Structure formats: C-alpha cells, structure tokens
Amino acid sequence: MSEPTALTDRRILVTGAAQGLGRTIAARIVDLGGVVVVADVADESGAHTAAELGDAATYEHLDVSSEHDWAAVCGRVTDSLGGLDGLVNNAALLDMGPLEQIEPDRARRLLEVNLLGPLLGIRAVAPLLRASGGGAVVNVSSIGGLEGMNSTATYNATKWGLRGLSRAAALELGLDGTRVNTVCPGMGNPDMPTPFLDRFDLDRYVQTAPRLPFHQHGQPRNVDVHDVAEMVVWLLSDAARGCTGADFAVDAGWTAGTYAEGLPGF
C-alpha cells in the first residue's frame, strides 16, 4: 500500500508553474509519483520547466484570467490525461505602492489574475475533479491574506478574497468529495527569494519593518519555497483527507503574534 502522502498517478494542474514557487510545487508532485500540468503565460520558461521535469510533466499555455484558456486547457487535458485529480492556484501578481497612487487598471489586473483567476480555475476544473471521484484544490494565498501591509493594498485584498473563495468552494465542492484549502506562505523572508520579489528590497524590508518581533527574537527559521511546497503536496494528498476549508500558514510564526516586552515569557 502506498504512503498516504504519495501522489502516485494523480494528475495535478499547477498555475504559474514556469518558475518560483509553482515550479517547486510541480517538481515535488513529480517526485511523489504524480503527473503535472505546468500552466503559465510564460511559454518559453514554462515549456523548459516541463521538459526538465521529464515525462510526467507537460506544458500548457494558460492565462488564469481567461475563461477561454481554462476551457481550452481542460479540454486538452481531458483528451491527453483523461481528467484531473488536483488543482493548485498559484499564479499571482504583486504590486507595491501607496494606496492613493494605485492605478485602477493595474488593480483590476491584480484582481483578475489573483482572485478571478482561481475562481475561473475552480469553476472549470470542478467537473473534472467530480468525475475522478473528488479531488483536491490548493489556493496559494500569502501572509498578505492574513494581515495587511502598507504598500500592498490591492495584493492584500486579492489574497484575503482568495481565502473566502476557498471556504465557499470547500462547502460546495465538498458535496462531491473535493477538498479545498489555502496555503499562506511567509512573504519577505530573505530565504524565500523567488523572481516574484525581485523588485522588492527584501533586506531593507526585513531590517526596517516595525513588526518583526518573532523574527528578531527567536523565529525558528526562515521559510523557503520547499517548506511551502511540502505543505501544498501534503494538502493534495490523502494524508490531508481530514482538512478542507482551512488556512495553513507556512510563515515560521510570522503571523503568530507579537512579544510583549516586560511580560513574562519574553
């Protein structure tokens, strides 16, 4: 009997998997015996990633904000793989800047990719998961979906919204045996450098952010993409059969709370 954490022959689509966290998740799915659809808008790097992952991976062009793309990809995947057992909504955009200077068109694009995208994805993939007897969806939010931060108002709104979407979807899809959960990775840790944060001065953030007490006073370790990928693949697996409609922070305590200086235990 295979381990409950195995993903043997599970067919799982990962969005935004050409690089960064999505690529790490896709690679881990293959490690665990799964079959992965690397979906992205970055065709060259996406195809390259799928080729590197070997025969168990294929590349599909998919703009998550396009209903047409979702229908086309689901059709092709049904033809080639016979269906899907899982979906990881990982693709997202980050934008930074003062709230009063947010460009409405740019905010609309973040909402389309980060929030409408996962909604369209769940909507398109739900019948395939149902046909396979119930599957698993993992939505990648952020600690930005558990708290707010200056400079990231639109991103925060999309990542909080994604948690709400996950819960509603967990209730509806749960009727057919599909589980839907949310992973909230830590953001801004220097050990989680992905291209997503290239434009973001991580060192300066970590040194100057006013609220990093756990980080400063004994955070056990920084998270990296592998820590987050482990949580995602666990949630995709049967080991997580008891979990749906829940949020899983992988932030090494970033959102656990604050130390109160002067009180015992500090």
* Structural contact between residues 87 and 128, judged by C-beta atoms closer than 8 angstroms: no
CB count within 10 Å of CB 177 equals: 15
The verdict on 22 binding ligand NAD (CB under 6 A) reads yes
What does the alpha-carbon distance between residue 155 and residue 9 come to, in Å, rounded to a whole number? Answer: 34
Binding string, residues 1-20; x marks residues near ligand NAD by CB under 6 A:
--------------xx-xxx
- Give me the sheet containing 57-61, strands edge to edge: 57-61, 35-40, 11-15, 86-89, 136-140, 179-185, 247-250
CB count within 10 Å of CB 138 equals: 26
The verdict on 138 binding ligand NAD (CB under 6 A) reads no
Closest residue to ligand NAD, judged by C-beta, is 20
What does the alpha-carbon distance between residue 240 and residue 230 come to, in Å, rounded to a whole number? Answer: 12
Strand, helix or coil at 182? Answer: strand
What's the min distance (Å) between Cβ of 238 and ligand NAD?
24
Q: Binding segment for ligand NAD among 61-69, 71-79, 128-136, 168-176 (CB under 6 A)?
A: 61-69
Q: Which residues are catalytic?
A: 155
Residue from 6, 41, 72, 206 binding ligand NAD (CB under 6 A): 41
The verdict on 233 binding ligand NAD (CB under 6 A) reads no
The verdict on 124 binding ligand NAD (CB under 6 A) reads no
* Structural contact between residues 141 and 247, judged by C-beta atoms closer than 8 angstroms: yes
The verdict on 40 binding ligand NAD (CB under 6 A) reads yes
What does the alpha-carbon distance between residue 89 and residue 139 come to, in Å, rounded to a whole number? Answer: 5
The verdict on 227 binding ligand NAD (CB under 6 A) reads no
Binding string, residues 167-186; x marks residues near ligand NAD by CB under 6 A:
------------------x-
Give backbone dihedrals phi and psi of 84, rounded to 5 degrees, phi first: -140, 150
The verdict on 197 binding ligand NAD (CB under 6 A) reads yes
The verdict on 205 binding ligand NAD (CB under 6 A) reads no
* Structural contact between residues 247 and 182, judged by C-beta atoms closer than 8 angstroms: yes
Q: Which residues of 238-251 are buried (b: 16+ CB within 10 A; e: fewer)?
A: eebeeebbbbbbbb
Residue from 5, 132, 194, 255 binding ligand NAD (CB under 6 A): 194
Residue from 157, 187, 232, 236 binding ligand NAD (CB under 6 A): 187
Judged by beta carbon, residue 40 or residue 85, the one nearer ligand NAD is: 40
Of 164, 163, 258, which is closest to residue 216 (Cα–Cα)? 258
The verdict on 49 binding ligand NAD (CB under 6 A) reads no
**Number of chain positions touching ligand NAD (CB under 6 A):** 28
Per CB under 6 A, residues contacting ligand NAD are: 15-16, 18-22, 40-42, 62-65, 90-93, 113, 140, 142, 185, 187, 192, 194-197
